Copies of this chain bind each other. A is one copy, B any other.
Amino acid sequence: MAKPSKENTPITEHLAYLLAQANREINRQLELRLSKEGVPVEQWRILKVLSDGNGHSMGELADAVLLNHPTLTKMIDRMVSDTLVYRVQDPNDRRKVLMFISDRGKVLCRKLNSLAVDQEEHILESYGDKSTSELKRLLESLIDSSN
């Protein structure tokens, strides 16, 4: 009996591939909902992070919304033009810029949240309560174990 080799495992069985595929699909669905308000997923994430009302530096934001710095800077430029967020120089460390959400941003964020909740509920229905929370748990622990 030959020693089992993983070297020609089909791509569809790799964890990296399954994650990419699931992410792509769920993201596509979310995009579809949020497009009702003409907002890309990343902007919703930004608004959501800022909606705690506190100032967040660009670096902090970039980490939180999974974008690298230059991409975030350019996206924020657009959102500032749309008056969804605004910049304030950090008084304690003038290298930093603190981002805040505007009133207009808050209103938009609420609409987007409810569209996103719709999606989560749709997933819960078709995929099941139990599977969803179990999947979330496993993903969190995978992320933890990767640091």
Q: Which residues of A contact B (CB under 8 A)?
A: 6-11, 13-27, 29-30, 41, 45, 48-49, 51, 64-66, 110, 113-114, 116-117, 119-120, 123, 126-127, 131-132, 134-136, 138-143, 145-146
Report the copy number of this chain in the oligomer.
2
Instruction: Given contacts A6-B117, A14-B120, list 14 more A-B pairs with CB under 8 A.
Output: A11-B64, A11-B65, A13-B136, A15-B26, A15-B120, A15-B139, A16-B26, A16-B27, A16-B119, A20-B23, A20-B27, A22-B143, A26-B142, A135-B135
CA distance A89 to B139 in the complex (A): 43
Chain B residues near A123: list those with CB within 8 A: 15
CA distance A19 to B15 in the complex (A): 12
Majority secondary structure, A binding face? helix
Q: Contacts A6-B117, A7-B113, A146-B26 known; A136 to B20 CB distance under 8 Å?
A: no
CA distance A10 to B117 in the complex (A): 12
CA distance A8 to B30 in the complex (A): 17
Choose one: B22, B26, B117, B138; the contact of A134 (CB below 8 Å): B138
Max chain B C-beta neighbours (<10 A), residue from A20, A21, A30, A145: A20
Chain B residues near A8: list those with CB within 8 A: 51, 113
Chain B residues near A138: list those with CB within 8 A: 131, 134-135, 138
